[in-house]
Amino acid sequence: MRFFLSEKNQFIFLRSKFAEQYLDKLMNRAECCERTYGFEYEFLPLFPLLSEDMEKIYQLLSGIGLVRQGYEFLSESNIRISFEPGGQIEYQSPPITKDDTRSFESIIEFMDHTNAVIREKLEIDYIGTGFFPDRRDAPLCNQSSRYVTLHERLNRTGSRGLEMMKGTASIHLHVAICRLDHLLPLFYRLCELAGHPGFRMSSERRDIWNHTDPMRCGMPPCCFERLQSPNQLIERLIDFALHAEVLGEDVPFWRSKDQSFSAFLYHMTTLFTDVRFNLKGPTLELRTLDSMPTDKFIDKWQLFISKLETI
């Protein structure tokens, strides 16, 4: 099809096709039950790590009963652990209902305990903070093809992208998409929270993100537009993703070699806007909150849920 359409019509064709497929996938994955919430919580190593440090961490986690899956580990309670390019450790919670305080507290205890074991056994101290300076030239601890390619791009496209990869840590907050008619109000609420004093990035981290990659970072283009339907929101976000350059090719997706829907879904995971879709849930994801000590997080968690439960 792409060989017989003008460039303009090719773009329109892809946008329409992907919007339809994305909506179908979203609704097939959505839960028709009680809304759930979740989070991804990153911690920065106090000092830059080397590849041999990462191998020691991997061996330790396997030794304490976590199941290794590539660069990730899974606990018995379905908490997933992964690692960012600067050696940041990231804990991904399973879905949690709004009143399930027990599960929330057990996840926090698991994170604290695991970080303590790493500190005790390996003398590697993970800290809840949003930014450590002077990490631009630190080793690339995660050597997956995704991060190697991203590292190469951010070395060219912005002045602070390598600091973002290796010197920042955040907490991503998720809300499950259970009903299509809730999609727009939830999206707008997360856009509001991205600028809320309790959830916005620190000025240091915001300056880094503002100088990382303009095609990948910042607010989604439709946060402050009054859209009329969920379909319109999906089409606008797909329009944005089609214009963003593909890692490793440096051409907009709609001109890339692989224009399959699976390639497009992967491409969307390489865009780091303040608010975005995450089809794993499916959820809407707020990505602005700086990492912090875990004892400071419970108030943020409760405030986040209270801001969304009115929808």
Neighbours of 125 (CB within 10 A): 14
Distance CA 266, CA 249 (A): 14
What average pLDDT does range 72-82 have in this prediction? 97
Q: Tens digits of per-residue pLDDT, 9-26?
A: 889 999 999 999 999 998
3-state SS, residue 186: helix
Neighbours of 232 (CB within 10 A): 14
* E strand residue ranges, 128-231: 170-176, 217-218
pTM given for the model: 0.95
- H/E stretch holding 282 reads none
Q: Where are the domains of the chain?
A: 34-216+274-308
CA contacts within 13 A on the Cβ side of 12 = 5
pLDDT of residue 2: 46
pLDDT of residue 131: 98
CA geometry: angle 55, 56, 60, nearest 5 deg: 115
Q: Tens digits of per-residue pLDDT, 148-187?
A: 999 999 999 989 999 999 999 999 999 999 999 999 999 9
